[in-house]
Amino acid sequence: MPPLSTPQPLPPGPLLVKTFLTSVQAGFPSPAEDHQVERIDLMSQLIKHPQATFMLRVSGESMRDAGILDGSVVLVDKAIQPESGHTVIAVVDGEFTCKTLQILPGGGMRLKAANPDYPDIVPKDGQTVEIWGVVVASIVQHAA
């Protein structure tokens, strides 16, 4: 498979992983329960439109405060109608970027960074901006 620096289609078929039937506490641990294991299909949990969903690796820290870190893999659904507040992949003057879409009064838009160290993108006259797809999930690797 080519590197994820360009959008890649998802592989066909289910992606099954083992899961416990209990939830995990993020605060204090709960008493041990029977740990029955079942399999869930990540594709059916995360993806509504398989033929229109792509994977893309994010580079940079502009979406850090939204939990999308440098090296994260995002699942992008091109079939979802983008709305204000959605995290999107946009193509600005031929370059992919990941930002939060804000629809401005009067029909304009802003692509908002989720890191105060990065500027928002407000399209200027003559600049081409296309909302390529809506980010539906992100995957951040925590351990190698």
Q: Give CA–CA dist 80/128, Å, rounded.
A: 21
Q: Is 44 a catalytic residue?
A: no
Based on the residue annotation, tell me whether 99 is a catalytic residue of this protein: yes
Cα–Cα separations (whole angstroms), residue 13 to 4, 18, 44, 142: 19, 16, 10, 26
CA-angle at 68, arms to 64 and 72, nearest 5°: 130
Selected catalytic residue, list 62, 72, 112, 138 = 62
**Phi/psi at 65 (nearest 5 deg)?**
-75, -10
| SS3 category, 73 | strand
Tell me which of 72, 99, 112, 138 is the catalytic residue.
99
Known catalytic residues?
62, 99
